[in-house]
C-alpha cells in the first residue's frame, strides 16, 4: 500500500543526529576522529582578514607620492599599534616636524608611490566553531570542520530567531496554556533556556534579555510583538543571525497557541538538563527548523516507529485557515479524491481536533505531521 508523505516537525525523546560544523574559510581542525566533545568545545578555528584603512600619507606629510617610501618608519609587512608613527618628515633642522600615525592596530599592507597612500590591514578576526552538541566526532572535513554525531532528545519548532545558545532547561510554565509574562521571569532564569506555555509577551522577552536568559521555548508570539522587539518586520529570508540578546523558538506558531502536550511533557521531563538551541529558520527551499537538542545516553533509547507517512492515529497540526495551529489526530484516510472549495480534486483526511473532539475533513496538504 502506498504511503502519503507529509513533512512535519520532530518531537522525540531519543534520536541520533549528525551535525556538520564548518568554518567559513579554510582553517585548523582541533579535534580528531572519534573524540568525545561537549557542546561548547571548539572543534575548528580560523581567522578572517581584518578590514583595510587607507591613510593619505603623502598629503599629511606634504610630499610627493614617489618620496613617500624613504619617509616611512614602518614598512610593508610590519605590525603597528594604533597611534604609532608610521612615517615622518623633518625640515629646518627639526623645527618643522610632520608625522603620520597608524589609525588602527594591524599590519602595513601597501605603500603606494603612485597615490601616496598607505593601506593598513586591521587585526585578523578570530573565528571559532563549537561542537554545538555533546557527541562524537564522526567525520573530519579537512581544513574546514567536522561532523558530530549525537544521541539526543529533539524538539523542532515552527519559527525562531537568534543564533545558537546553550543553557539548562527551566520550566516557568505549569501548563501548556500558561502565558509567559515578565513577572514570571526572575534572576533564577539567568543563563537558562526557559520553557513557557501558550504565549510569550513583549514584556517577557525584554525581561528575559535583562536577566540574561539564554533562550525561550514557547508555543506562540504575537507578530506585532515580534516586529516591535526586533525593530523591523521579518521577511521570508533565513533567520538566526539576529543579535538581540536571546534566542526564541516557537513550537506552534504566531498568536496565543497552547504548546502541544507531548512537547510540553517532554521538555518538562528533561528539566535541569543542558540544552543546545538554535533559532535559525528558513521556510522556503532548503527548510531549516529552529530546534532544541538535549544530549541523552544510549540507555535512554526507545524503540521508535519508522516514519512511513500518515496513518490512523498520527498526530498532526493544521497549517491552513480556518484551523491554523490546532492539533488533531488522524481518524480516517479516504483513498478517493474529493472536490474542495477551489473545485480541485485532492486527497483528504479526516482528523479529530484535540481541543474539541470535532471531526473535520481537510486536504492532506493542509496538515503537518508531528513526528515522534
Closest by Cα among 231, 268, 263, 236 to 249:
263
- Asked, for residue 139, whether it belongs to a domain, the answer is no
Same domain for 198 and 260: yes
Average of pLDDT values for 55-70? 93
Domain containing 72 equals 52-122
Per-residue pLDDT band at 156 (split at 50, 70, 90) = very high
What residues have CB less than 8 Å from 265, skipping those under 6 apart?
A: none
- Asked, for residue 95, whether it belongs to a domain, the answer is yes
Closest by Cα among 199, 306, 318 to 254:
199
Domain boundary, last residue among 258, 275, 299: 299
Position 236 pLDDT exceeds 90:
no
Q: What is the 8-class DSSP label of residue 208?
A: H
Position 149 pLDDT exceeds 70:
yes
Same domain for 12 and 91: no
- Asked, for residue 32, whether it belongs to a domain, the answer is no
Which pLDDT score, from 0 to 100, does residue 241 have?
87
189: helix, coil or strand? helix
pTM comes to: 0.75
For the record, the C-alpha cell of 266 comes out as 517532554
- Asked, for residue 219, whether it belongs to a domain, the answer is yes
Which pLDDT score, from 0 to 100, does residue 237 have?
64
Same domain for 353 and 294: no
My answer on whether omega of the bond before 322 falls inside 30° of 0, hence cis, is yes
The rounded distance, in Å, linking the Cα atoms of 234 and 217 is 19
Q: Supply the CATH number for residue 367's domain.
A: 2.30.30.140
Position 113 pLDDT exceeds 70:
yes
Residue 367, beta-bridge partner list: 318
pLDDT in tens, 324-335: 878 899 999 888
Which pLDDT score, from 0 to 100, does residue 2 have?
35
- 337 compared with 33, residue with greater pLDDT: 33
Which pLDDT score, from 0 to 100, does residue 199 have?
96
- Asked, for residue 310, whether it belongs to a domain, the answer is no
Going 305 to 311 to 314 to 319, the CA torsion angle's sign is: positive
The rounded distance, in Å, linking the Cα atoms of 250 and 255 is 10
Give the number of other Cβ atoms within 10 Å of residue 220's Cβ.
24
Closest by Cα among 51, 54, 46 to 122:
51
Average pLDDT, the chain: 89
Domain boundary, last residue among 239, 274, 299: 299
Which pLDDT score, from 0 to 100, does residue 304 have?
44
- Asked, for residue 341, whether it belongs to a domain, the answer is yes
Q: What is the 8-class DSSP label of residue 325?
A: T
pLDDT in tens, 267-280: 999 999 999 999 99
Q: What percent of the chain has pLDDT over 70?
A: 92
Average of pLDDT values for 301-307? 47
Burial category of 343 from C-beta neighbours within 10 Å (exposed 0-12, middle 13-18, buried 19 and up):
exposed
Q: What percent of the chain has pLDDT over 90?
A: 68
Average of pLDDT values for 149-178? 95
Alpha carbon 5 to its chain's center:
27
Asked if 171 and 266 touch (Cβ cutoff 8 Å), the reply is no
pLDDT in tens, 31-58: 999 999 999 999 999 999 999 999 999 9
Position 306 pLDDT exceeds 50:
no
Position 234 pLDDT exceeds 90:
no
Domain total in the chain: 3
Position 108 pLDDT exceeds 50:
yes
Position 30 pLDDT exceeds 60:
yes
- Asked, for residue 161, whether it belongs to a domain, the answer is yes
Amino acid at each position: 500500500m502506498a504511503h502519503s508523505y507529509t513533512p512535519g516537525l520532530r518531537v522525540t525523546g531519543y534520536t541520533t543526529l549528525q551535525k556538520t560544523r564548518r568554518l567559513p574559510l579554510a582553517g585548523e581542525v582541533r579535534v580528531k576522529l572519534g573524540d568525545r566533545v561537549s557542546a561548547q568545545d571548539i572543534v575548528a578555528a580560523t581567522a578572517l582578514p581584518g578590514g583595510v584603512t587607507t591613510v593619505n600619507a603623502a598629503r599629511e606629510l606634504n610630499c610627493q607620492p614617489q618620496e613617500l617610501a624613504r619617509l616611512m618608519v614602518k614598512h610593508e609587512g610590519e605590525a603597528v599599534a594604533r597611534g604609532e608613527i608610521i612615517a615622518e618628515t623633518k625640515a629646518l633642522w627639526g623645527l618643522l616636524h610632520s608625522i603620520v600615525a597608524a589609525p588602527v592596530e594591524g599590519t602595513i599592507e601597501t605603500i603606494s608611490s603612485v597615490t601616496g597612500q598607505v593601506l593598513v590591514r586591521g587585526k585578523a578576526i578570530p573565528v571559532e566553531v563549537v561542537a554545538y552538541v555533546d557527541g562524537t566526532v564522526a567525520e573530519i572535513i579537512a581544513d574546514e570542520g567536522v561532523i558530530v554525531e549525537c544521541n539526543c532528545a529533539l524538539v523542532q519548532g515552527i519559527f525562531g530567531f537568534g543564533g545558537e545558545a546553550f543553557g539548562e532547561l527551566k520550566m516557568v510554565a505549569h501548563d501548556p496554556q500558561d502565558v509567559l509574562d515578565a513577572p514570571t521571569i526572575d534572576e533564577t532564569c539567568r543563563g537558562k533556556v526557559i520553557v513557557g506555555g501558550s504565549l510569550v509577551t513583549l514584556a517577557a522577552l525584554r525581561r528575559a534579555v535583562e536577566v540574561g536568559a539564554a533562550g525561550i521555548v514557547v508555543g506562540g508570539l504575537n507578530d506585532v510583538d515580534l516586529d516591535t522587539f526586533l525593530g523591523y518586520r521579518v521577511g521570508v529570508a533565513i533567520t538566526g543571525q539576529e543579535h538581540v540578546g536571546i534566542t526564541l523558538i516557537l513550537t506552534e506558531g504566531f498568536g496565543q497557541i497552547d504548546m502541544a502536550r507531548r512537547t510540553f511533557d517532554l521538555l518538562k521531563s528533561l528539566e535541569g538538563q543542558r540544552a543546545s538551541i538554535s533559532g535559525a529558520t528558513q521556510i522556503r527551499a532548503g527548510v531549516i527548523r529552529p530546534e532544541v537538542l538535549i544530549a541523552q545516553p544510549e540507555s535512554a533509547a526507545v524503540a521508535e516507529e519508522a516514519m512511513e507517512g500518515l496513518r490512523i492515529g498520527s498526530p498532526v497540526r493544521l497549517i491552513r485557515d480556518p484551523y491554523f495551529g490546532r492539533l488533531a489526530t488522524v481518524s480516517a484516510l479516504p483513498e478517493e479524491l474529493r472536490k474542495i472549495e477551489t473545485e480541485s480534486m485532492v486527497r483528504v483526511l479526516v482528523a479529530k481536533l484535540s481541543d474539541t473532539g470535532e471531526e473535520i475533513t481537510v486536504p492532506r496538504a493542509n496538515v503537518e505531521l508531528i513526528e515522534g
